[in-house]
Structure 1
Amino acid sequence: MEAKQAKPPSGYGKPPWVFNGSALYQLHLVKAETARAFIPKEFKLVEAFGYTLGGFFLASYDDSPVGIFDELVVIAGIVWNPPTSCAWAARVLVNSDEACVHGRKDVGLPSQVARFSKKITAIPGRSDTKINRFLRMIGIGTVFNNPKNGLDIQVTEIKGPAVTDICTINVGTASLAKAMPDLNSNKLMGPVIKMSLPSFSGRTEHNPHLLKYSCQIECRLVLP
């Protein structure tokens, strides 16, 4: 009889799961007809004049149930399920195998392993020439500022031997100081803000159930 090696327990344990770090949350208008392709038909899309509210959430976690990792969540739009509306993630990219497995099986997210490459660059007068297939497909496009200095974050999806460049995000000097306040020695911290972000997920091959949950966020804004 062949002995099977016991699988080590996940670092996540039971919820609630606590994450600490820096994040940039940017909202964009997305064409409703494009967003519907990523949202289950049972949901009614919250839209006006042919658009819904999508965007992205880019986070760098200093501490989490599985340690340090980066995450990019692309939000297709907002869906309505009385008595509230919830965000729907079209894509989730993380540079942690354990975070990817947890997202797929426990949270019902379309998680995928990716590589996050970060580089501070001087880019005077530069225009946006990067290919940004997925974000552009849902109407967001590459997030690009044109500052004197910025942080280039390139996200590359990894599927076995296949490697695909997903997007390049450039965060300008002002936004960089706000998104990553540890880089700004003269920062002024604003008041603590608490918010609840209701979300739906599931209906994937790894978790076919429909899940509804809420992310409780406590943060400080960095004042200019």
Structure 2
Amino acid sequence: MGLGETKSSPGYGNPPWIFKGSALYQLHLVKAETVRAFIPKELRLVEAFGYTLGGFFLANYDDSPAGVFDELVVIAGIVWNPPTSCAWAARVLVNSEEACHHGRKEVGLPSQVARFSKRITPVPRQTKDKFGGFLNMIGVGTTICHSKDCMDVQVTEVVGPASSDICNIKLLTDVPTPKFNKWMGPSITMSLPSFSGQTEYNANLLKYSCRLACRCFRYFLSHVSLLLL
């Protein structure tokens, strides 16, 4: 099995390409029989008890070779590449024509243009002190309010005049003020090996690696509706 190499494009220049922004990375168990249609036949799916590990990667880039844009990557599953394994993306949605073209031609991704709709609303949360029950009974109770943000993200794929809803995500996160910096996690650096290619835009089977350097914030994922097929 021969592996192709990624090329350079005028807008992006030569790799490595650097993207800066924020992202949500969520893993899920997915039925192996569902994702096999998205995996090349010569690649063996990593599975156990009929399931593989899929998920999604939702990112907002404020600095990239294509400028500011949003991206949703739907990970179908994990395939073997001894002695390790690689992720396989079934869908890649971006709201940038340049990023879409680069993903198709140079990285072998099944990129499509989409609309990303975001709505952020504050959600107050009240926490009573340990004497709150009794004090409230006599009318002098106190509460401590902790502000949270609720983010609703809707992703709609656009194909010509038609469009279809692909993903809806609702999540809660602490407001990123200095008061809540204690909830930031440690610095993390990781490498995410992936396969791509064998599409109408790039027939080669490509292997590449995304190197992530990040700080973690505390998120509460309350709802996910994701369309794979």
Query: Structure 2-normalised TM-score?
Result: 0.76
Report the equivalent of 1:93: 93
Contact 1:10 1:98 in 2 (8 A): no
1:190, distance to aligned residue in structure 2 (A): 3.0
> Does 1:187 pair with 2:187?
no
| Residues 114-133 of structure 1: pairs in structure 2 closer than 5 A | 114-121=114-121
Tell me the amino acid that sits aligned with residue 76 of structure 1. A
Which segments of structure 1 move beyond 3 Å, counting only runs of 4 or more? 121-124
Deviations 1:63-105 (A, max 9, x none): 0001100000000000002122000000000000000000000
How many angstroms apart in 1 are the aligned matches of 2:102 and 2:218?
Answer: 35
> Does 1:30 pair with 2:24?
no
1:198, distance to aligned residue in structure 2 (A): 0.3
The correspondence for 1:205, drawn from 180, 200, 207, is 200
How many angstroms apart in 2 are the aligned matches of 1:95 and 1:191?
Answer: 31
Tell me the amino acid that sits aligned with residue 36 of structure 1. R
Between 207-216 and 184-193, report the one with greater CA deviation. Answer: 184-193
Larger radius of gyration: 2
Tell me the amino acid that sits aligned with residue 214 of structure 1. S
Report the equivalent of 2:210: 215
How many angstroms apart in 1 are the aligned matches of 2:164 and 2:218?
Answer: 36
Report the equivalent of 1:12: 12
> Does 1:109 pair with 2:109?
yes
SS of residue in 1 equivalent to 2:99:
helix
Query: Structure 1-normalised TM-score?
Result: 0.78
Report the equivalent of 2:151: 151
Seen in structure 2, the aligned counterparts of structure 1 residues 36 and 65 have a Cα distance that, compared at 3 Å, is same
1:120, distance to aligned residue in structure 2 (A): 1.8
Contact 1:152 1:169 in 2 (8 A): yes
| Residues 47-86 of structure 1: pairs in structure 2 closer than 5 A | 47-86=47-86
How many angstroms apart in 2 are the aligned matches of 1:74 and 1:114?
Answer: 13
SS of residue in 2 equivalent to 1:102:
helix
Report the equivalent of 1:141: none
Contact 1:187 1:223 in 2 (8 A): no
How many angstroms apart in 2 are the aligned matches of 1:25 and 1:196?
Answer: 13
Seen in structure 2, the aligned counterparts of structure 1 residues 223 and 74 have a Cα distance that, compared at 3 Å, is closer
1:223, distance to aligned residue in structure 2 (A): 5.8
Report the equivalent of 2:169: 169
The root-mean-square deviation of aligned C-alpha atoms, in Å, is: 2.1
Deviations 1:166-199 (A, max 9, x none): 121111235xx5xxxxx44422333221100000
Report the equivalent of 1:131: none
Aligned length: 187
Specify which structure has the higher proportion of strand: 2
Identity within the alignment, %: 73
Deviations 1:37-87 (A, max 9, x none): 110010100000100000000000010001100000000000002122000
